[in-house]
Structure 1
Amino acid sequence: MKKLTYLFFVIILVAFSQQNYSQFKDYGQKFGVRGSILFPENEFANFGFSGNNNTTFDWYKFSWLGEAFFGFELSKALELSINGGYGKYAGKAFFDDANTTFGEYETKIVPLHLRLRISPFDAQGWNPYLYIGAGAVSYTVSSKPTITGSKATEDEGWAALVPVGIGAEFALTDRVLLDFALGGAMTSTYDLDAYRSGSDDIWDSYFNASLGFSFVGENCDVDKDNDGLGKCLEQQIGTDPMNPDTDGDGLSDGDEYLNYKTNPLNKDTDSDGLSDYDEVKTYKTNPLLADTDGEGLNDGDEVLKHKTDPLKADTDNDGLNDNEEVMKYKTNPLKADTDGDGLKDGDEVMKHKTDPLKADTDGDRLNDGDEVTKHKTNPLNKDTDGGTVEDGVEVERGTDPLNAEDDVVKVGVPIILEGITFDVNKSTIKPESEAILMKALKTLQTYPEIEVEIGGHTDSDGSAKSNLKLSQARADAVKAWLVEKGIDAKRITTKGYGEDKPIADNKTKEGKAKNRRIEFTRIK
């Protein structure tokens, strides 16, 4: 039975011997004292009723053991202790199947052993454990029972000792623990009870109930707040060893000090307006650098005020960094084209020198984008061709903002409407003449006070009479087109000049083409 009991203890110990962590760990060293009540286990009945009829009640004879120990950690879950003690192993010498008492035995014992303790659980306020040990016990018999036929025993000597048991610690203060345990110990001697029967001898042993006090220290590696920093290091850097996040920024002191190199006493190490946690976990910015992207705005202002990307110097990819947009040019760092004129802010500032806050820098009624990309006019000069009419007016009326000659229609100065063509020897206007005619129409609409002459001219081919007639017909055809578009016929006169006013040599094909023309002349 006794062997089965010890086997049961060993099985429990092995089953639960796994690493764990609790507030009772990381103490470094420990010393303490414990007192135990012993319940001897040997050939005699040491407690309870004697005899088969239970007529006599024999009280237990008090046995005890006082011990002192010194322990230190092997790991978070294992403790090794050196134990020494002094006690009395005693009892009444009678057998269960007889009422006869043969006196008493009493033996002084001095056990010395190493004990391995396993703390398999993580509990608050208490620390359950298992233990097993090995050592030796010195014994001295001071009182023997008188039993006929008893074999000689050793009155003193040494024997092997194997203690095993379970227990729990309870925290009284930070440094003082109450220790309660139940267990037992087996020895390798038959002589603790001063009796050998010669048959069916069993090793003497005992069960015990123990109560003691432990006094613990803490080594420099103790980490009660589980933040990854030992006690001594936390004291050195000024963090709270009982608070895993001293500055309350969401990062543990260990992560700040060991991994991110931030200040665990300051939730915003770089003073950029973002907590270290936000920088590391949310925005991925550098918690040690106030301006991660190096464009001149601190990360906090970018995130909280301007809504720009603190990891990107030019959030809107317009060619200006966020700081230049916010502080220098006052443009929108989230919008590549602040004034909506079709040009990026960077191109306006760096390339075209236009105002990125003003869609029409020169105030000519054309936005900068249209001037640069469509009309090829100067967005910094409202009258690109210098002809006294603004670019916007010219575009609206259909004149060329790059040609000063068509800006103002002067009295008596003919304007050749190049591009108006007719069928051969006819006054039928060809469709491709539409664009030029529209410019003439636009001029008459823009200047409603003027009156004009439409003059027709031919080359020298054919007779002078037929050419005069043809030129008049062509001038009349142009007038008819303009009148059809809404121009008052009274504002237009026509005249055919035939071949009388050539502007080029009629001897060449090119010259003849130039002489076949329609002229637009202001007469009032």
Structure 2
Amino acid sequence: MKHPLFTTALLGLGMLAAVPRSHAQTVDRKFGVSGYVTTLQYRGDLGSSFWDLRNATYGGGLTLSRYLTKGLDINLSANQSLLRFPGQENTFTSPTTPGNYATARRFSANITTFGLGFKLKLLPNSPVVPYILLQPGLAVVYSDRYIASAPTVSNHTSFGSFDGQAALGLDFHLTPGFGIFVQAGQHYLDRDDDRLDGVGSGATTFWDKYDRYMQFSAGLTANLGKAKDTDGDGVPDRKDKCPDTPSGVKVDVNGCPLDTDGDGVPDYQDKCPDVKGLAALQGCPDADGDGVTDADDKCPNTPAGVRVDASGCPLDADGDGVADYLDKCPDTPAGVKVDATGCPLDRDGDGVPDFQDRCPDRAGPASNKGCPEIPAETKKILNEATKYINFDFNKATLKASSYPKLQQMVQIMNDYPDYSLSIAGHTDSKGADDYNLRLSYERAASARKYMLDKGIPADRIEARGYGETKPIASNTTAAGQALNRRVDFDPYLTGETNAAEAKYGAAPTVSEVKAAGEKLPGKKTTGTGAPRSRKAPMKKAPVRKK
């Protein structure tokens, strides 16, 4: 005999097979639908078929489950199965003998149960979850009993009864949205008149008083629903520790952006995703901590705390090649050569750096621009030399008496190679101006030539003529005129203003006049060459001895 619910159960199993795979049944996916097959085994007044599979019968059912807590589900189940017990007349396993055992030898019953169960999940986080099911419900029984005296004659009865089931089972979570389960439980009916098998035993103990049966089930479960996932990263909000992850960003199991190198900078923002780095440098490393990533750092071993430029190298404010943190002279002018400490070179060690030192290879005071000073005694020789330099009458030819003093000046120039010498010729006021001017030039040039012939470089001696324009005494007396007829010798540092020019003002040097292709002014005094006249005032007085 088939109950209509059996057909419904089979249809339900077919529908369940068509359910698409869903996500795992959790607090976010609270509903599950299960379809299963069952077999029942009887134990009662007629005997027991517990654990006996020789005359197995089958059925099936559907269960709708609802997640309540991590350890508890509630189930609404419907099941239809056939329970059958074949046996021989007067052969029973019941320990009691009174009653109407002779009136029946076997029975067959269609049992439909509806239950509201409570499923206690043990180890809910495990892939295999053991559970306990306690399920009160209602049973509807359609039973046929066959009597011993007429095996083909049956006694039909139907009734409804309270049904209580206690079961143990295992859930196997094969995928997040699909699983299987197996379950073994025992059902008790509350009818004490034994209408299930039609035999009353008269027993008084709980285990023997009530007819009961075991139900073995195995089935499939699909978990339905969809978790709320605000940022769409595949991790439900309930588990998502980073619920605002930008769209398309790969995340870990916690819903947070992947951070391959574990530096706290997510890969999608990390310019160096495979190497631990700093958040301030977009996840790239900075071994020396100077704020420039190692990949861009041209000086990756800069000491801690040292200020660096954009390339990661220590700052060098004055550009002398010595980093500021090592530079003891950080304001060195551009282009100046420096030593290892960043200070300007001072080869002669006189305290005047080479770039300011007119004499970088000879020590001298800063007051003399780093050059040796000419001692006062030597300067005196030069200042008094004019007294010892004599020329032939009215000529520019040196007298032999001048040679010792000129030789002495040659020695001074050799001793002080950083100095140049200014030779300035002067005359008194007697005679024509242009004549006097030429004569002063030629006498200065004669003294210069002597020194050049002794090896003094030409660029270290300048000769100028001032004529009668720079007297040092009155020309109205013979004594004053004698003082005005002179040749001055004045040393000065090479490169500085010519000493004669500093004292008397500008006048062309003999070299400059000749370089310009001009002749010295005035009448020729040396007997070589004709003078080219210049436009200069001429005095009427006759030429006198000079």
TM-score (norm 2): 0.46
The structure richer in helix per residue is 1
